[in-house]
Chains A and B, each alone.
Chain A
Amino acid sequence: MPKRLRTWRSSPTTAAAFRAVGTSDAPGTALVTVSGGVEHPGVYEVAMGTPLGSVIERTRPTGAVAAVLTGGFGGSWVSAGALDTPYAPRPLATVGGVVGPGVLVVLTERACGIAETARLARYMAGESAGQCGPCVFGLPALADDLGHLAVGAPDPNAIGRLEMRLTSVDGRGACRHPDGVARMVRSALSVFASDAAAHGSGRPCAFRDAPSVLPRTVIAPWAAAS
């Protein structure tokens, strides 16, 4: 058995064993970090191409799954309708998802997607390196808009303003941090479109004040800021 990692990786038998799982264009396994509304959050090794729903099932969701955030906090929400999608870059892309850093956040039906997205946006605003104006001003503005939307304050312009600000932020930094946040927020406005419309016309969600399903690192700074 080869002892050095380099030898190990170039060994044809190992490569064959690696390729034996996964899909042809995404061979092998991946480490996926699952959090959110699940009983057993953690890092799981999954074969590429495993249906998204099966990946989540292993972590025991605490309720019916409403949506999944794929690709981390700068990733993209996908609706529960896409749970049959194989977990691999290409298939996920067809439903608007991304593999990215391999981070999944599960949203159950007893949570508000807009409120959770507002918390994510607030956290990401705090994670800005603070170098470029559109990120420094834009991300907090996005988080504010989403926060107002989640509260259910009637505002016919809420979604229009959000979309305008998303264009102000997207691609306007020296790095891709604002782009990721814009992608995540855009996907929320599409996956939770009916919720967003309802909240914008003054009908907040029953789970507006429900405890967040997000990891504690995300909620704590938001709670302090509000």
Chain B
Amino acid sequence: MPDNMTENRMENKKLRVEDKETGESPNAINSNLKMTTRDLDFYYGANQALEKISLNIEVNKVTALIGPSGCGKSTFLRTLNRMNEIIPGTRMEGEVKLDGLDIYNDIKDVSVVRTKVGMVFQKSNPFPKSIFDNVAYGLKVNGINNKSIIIEAVEDALKRAFLWEEVKDKLNHNAYMLSGGQQQRLCIARALAIMPEVILMDEPASALDPISTSKIEDLIGELKKNYTIVIVTHNMQQAARISDFTAFFYQGQMVEFGVTKQIYTKPLKKKTEDYITGRFG
């Protein structure tokens, strides 16, 4: 295990050296990079959950995070919009940048970070309110009170989430009346309504049936035209289908990162290959 760690640390260093060779200094604002993390460590109390994660997230691409349960991929995802801050007893080191700005230091208001980096959760979690109020919630808490603007934004968000046709006649119904798949798309619409630039998805389809899942996957393919998407998934076929880049996490470290096709066909690391071929995890 310790050998493993040093090996991975060296790999990370190598990656960074390669960055420099291609003229991409990690700190430069690269127009293709929407978000970057550098040497990200994360601790739950004394437990280290993430170790030196450095990852580049390209704009208008889908980046998938895969790995066995407890490998830190969800924790990593939640550092990208400072959601871990609401968990007491946690600590983070390293930097996370959005468009070249450190979201922990340069952007003081956490609300601003979270409106730019939206999130969709594993379990669909609509509020016990009407469909309309669910989508309007993010607008209202961010100080938008103009009714016609809200109505327009809600319709637009529901259309982008491919939900409008199904719910346009029952916007005042409680969101819990919707099916599981519809609820998850409602949560996506809710995230879209506040015009984020990046959307984080934490296993958004893991609790859904195959038809709903494929709808979500189609939606992701559509959304990446306008948004940058980072998705955590347990389902490797799903990651292979929808993502452009894949990062493989194992025991708090990022073992391998690359173009999805390469990760699935010619992984550089033995661990990655073992995981993808189903030998563990």
Decide whether A and B assemble into one complex: no
